[in-house]
């Protein structure tokens, strides 16, 4: 995908800080090395003010932040460093991550799951909060107008996370209205645990997967960039789990030539 001659301006739309680097970091690095102008727009990167939900406070602790630290600011700084290492630009959106949001009834959207580094996010669809979805769509449209991409890449949202689904569906609508081709990346590391189904909005469907490998230097760039998210590495890798070995094994399983690859799909209209 990174060798696509039409992809001279690539806009990656990421739901969360680190999503793009985790799932498609090697592809972004390869595209930048090939002379493509690459920008990552992270939708749910807004500034959250205390009081935080118990789930957010727990995640801050897992990420290694003290109560007096500005966790969202620290994570944005990590993202800037990582994307700079990949050789791509960044743009941070104003919307709050789901761990900082409330449901219409006033309860927190995210709850703790006892004994696990995992949260329970209330099951919603993008249509359940039409005001939020419309605002995200409008902001994506403004970013697209500003950067004038020739290709948009975003998440497949196989994890069914509401933030990912909102970002993906809004990006699909904006891209369709403007006639811009879209590819979806395979959400990592979620896909290493078993691939879920990408349930796209009505009228959209996935084309055949692309398993094209990147150069070893792009894989190295990705792994180096991921280490610049120390808060997330505390969750994703350690003595009992090796994120980088998982990513390598998953890539080898999918790659036709045994190199490092990241799966993407073109989005087609019915």
* Range scoring the smallest mean pLDDT among 31-40, 72-81, 88-97, 123-132: 123-132
Answer whether residue 1 is part of any domain. no
What distance in Å separates the CA atoms of residue 181 and residue 208, rounded to the nearest whole number?
14
pLDDT at 29: 98
pLDDT at 2: 46
What distance in Å separates the CA atoms of residue 200 and residue 205, rounded to the nearest whole number?
6
Answer whether residue 255 is part of any domain. yes
Work out the angle at residue 179's Cα, subtended by the Cα atoms of residues 173 and 180, and round it to the nearest 5 degrees. Answer: 85
Answer whether residue 90 is part of any domain. yes
pLDDT at 74: 96
pLDDT at 193: 83
| Backbone angle region of 258, left / alpha / beta, with phi > 0 → left and psi within -120 to 50 → alpha | left
Q: Is residue 213 within 8 Å of residue 257, measured between CB atoms?
A: yes
This model's pTM is above 0.95: no
Q: Count up the domains in the chain and report the number.
A: 1
**Six token digits for residue 192:** 């290493």
Work out the angle at residue 83's Cα, subtended by the Cα atoms of residues 26 and 218, and round it to the nearest 5 degrees. Answer: 20
Average pLDDT over residues 166-185: 97
CATH code of the domain covering residue 150: 3.40.50.10320
Q: What percent of the chain has pLDDT over 70?
A: 93
In the predicted structure, residue 77 carries a pLDDT above the cut 80 = yes
Answer whether residue 4 is part of any domain. no
* Of 167 and 195, the one with more pLDDT: 167
Q: Give the Cβ contact number of residue 151 at 10 Å.
A: 22
Give residue 109's domain range: 9-269
Answer whether residue 136 is part of any domain. yes
pLDDT at 270: 82
pLDDT at 131: 93
Order of strands, sheet of 151-155, starting from the edge strand that comes earlier in the sequence = 89-92, 37-42, 9-14, 151-155, 182-185, 264-269, 204-206
Q: Is residue 155 within 8 Å of residue 166, measured between CB atoms?
A: no
From residue 101, give the alpha-carbon distance in Å to each of 54, 56, 97, 106, 191. 12, 10, 7, 9, 26
Q: What is the pLDDT of residues 215-249, one digit of tens each?
A: 999 999 999 999 999 999 999 998 888 999 999 99
Q: Is residue 59 within 8 Å of residue 99, measured between CB atoms?
A: yes
| Mean pLDDT of the residues in the chain | 91
What distance in Å separates the CA atoms of residue 73 and residue 61, rounded to the nearest whole number?
15
DSSP state of 108: B
Q: What is the pLDDT of residues 252-270, one digit of tens each?
A: 988 888 889 999 999 999 8
Average pLDDT over residues 77-93: 98
pLDDT at 117: 58
Answer whether residue 243 is part of any domain. yes
From residue 44, give the alpha-carbon distance in Å to each of 19, 48, 201. 11, 10, 20
Average pLDDT over residues 117-124: 68
Average pLDDT over residues 64-80: 94
Q: Please, which pLDDT band fits residue 110 given cuts at 50, 70 and 90?
A: confident
Q: What is the pLDDT of residues 31-51, one digit of tens each?
A: 999 999 999 999 999 999 888
Average pLDDT over residues 107-123: 73
């Amino acid at each position: 995908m990174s060798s696509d001659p039409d992809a001279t301006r690539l806009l990656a739309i990421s739901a969360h800080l680190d999503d793009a680097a985790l799932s498609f970091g090697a592809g972004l690095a390869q595209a930048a090395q090939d002379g493509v102008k690459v920008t990552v727009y992270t939708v749910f990167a807004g500034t959250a003010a205390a009081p935080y939900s118990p789930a957010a406070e727990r995640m801050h602790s897992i990420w290694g932040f003290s109560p007096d630290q500005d966790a969202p600011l620290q994570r944005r700084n990590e993202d800037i460093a990582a994307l700079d290492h990949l050789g791509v630009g960044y743009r941070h959106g104003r919307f709050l991550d789901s761990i900082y949001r409330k449901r219409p009834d006033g309860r927190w959207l995210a709850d703790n799951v006892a004994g696990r580094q995992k949260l329970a996010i209330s099951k919603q669809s993008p249509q359940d909060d039409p005001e939020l979805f419309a605002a995200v769509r409008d902001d994506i449209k403004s970013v697209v107008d500003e950067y004038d991409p020739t290709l948009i890449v975003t998440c497949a949202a196989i994890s069914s996370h509401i933030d990912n689904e909102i970002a993906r569906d809004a990006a699909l609508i904006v891209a369709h209205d403007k006639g811009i081709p879209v590819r979806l990346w395979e959400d990592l590391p979620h896909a290493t645990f078993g691939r879920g189904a990408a349930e796209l909005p009505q009228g959209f469907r996935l084309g055949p997967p692309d398993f094209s490998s990147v150069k070893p230097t792009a894989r190295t760039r990705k792994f180096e960039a991921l280490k610049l998210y120390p808060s997330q590495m505390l969750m994703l890798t350690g003595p009992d789990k090796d994120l980088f070995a998982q990513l390598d094994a998953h890539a080898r399983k999918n790659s036709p030539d045994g190199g490092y690859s990241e799966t993407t799909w073109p989005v087609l209209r019915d």
